[in-house]
Amino acid sequence: MTVARAMGLAGAVTRLVVEAEMERQVTAPDLARRAMRTARTILNVHGVDVRTEGPPPSGACIVVANHVSYIDPLVVSAVAPCIAIAKGETRAWPLIGRGLKALGVIFVQRGDPYSGAAAIRAAWRALRVGACVLNFPEGTTTDGRDVGPFRRGCFGLALLAGVPIVPARISYCDDRVPWTGGQTFAPHYWRLAGVSRLEARVRFGEALLARGSERAEQLAQRAHAAVTEL
């Protein structure tokens, strides 16, 4: 089963890369819909069922969610087409990195102000044409029991772009899903791919709009509270 799923993942990513190379003229909403199709395919191959609570977001907005595992973007994208922001290291992952690029993922190198600014500009361009952007403002993964502090970057972007923030809380039925403690991708994936069925749950909260002269830090605090309460 594990080998079959790994081969299914490789096949899905390879098809995605080929599709991207053949269709060069695509918009951000097109990429978001491609991400939804790809996410559903990969999750189906791996026996992951996604349950939702609350209305999934649509249109130009920023979804902010807690971060538990590398499958979080797939889980959210499967129910809400979006462009994800991911750490820059994933760009170098064999095959996976090419797949992420084909989905229009916005890469950001932590600790690099230039990379952060470039990511903000790329996300702003996506929002301007009506795409939804997915961000994990904790900046790292946790076991999902608590929600870590939020970084302010995407909240400043929401204020500049005039788009709502949609809080989301991700949880799983299996304690083997969290990717924490410096675990490397391949061994963790190999173990997780051996789990016959997994259930993921995404709870979407009410969209948050900026209040008057509200600053990014204040909006981040409200969003953190909303995600924590979901």
The string of pLDDT tens digits covering residues 110-132 is 878 888 889 999 999 999 999 99
Q: What is the pLDDT of residue 183?
A: 85
Q: How many domains does the chain have?
A: 1
Closest CA to 193 of 47, 80, 32, 60: 47
Query: pLDDT for 159-188, tens place per residue?
Result: 999 999 999 999 999 999 999 878 888 899
15-64 pLDDT tens trace: 888 888 887 788 999 999 999 999 999 999 999 999 999 999 989 999 99
**Alpha-carbon distance values, 35 to 8, 104, 177 (Å):** 16, 8, 21
Entry field: residues in the chain: 230
Give SS3 for 222.
helix
* pLDDT digit string, tens, across residues 133-156: 999 999 999 999 999 999 998 999
Strand partners, 64: 135, 167
Model confidence pTM above 0.85: yes
Find the CATH number of the domain harbouring 51. 3.40.1130
| Residues of the domain holding 149 | 2-229
Using only the alpha carbons of the chain, give its radius of gyration: 17
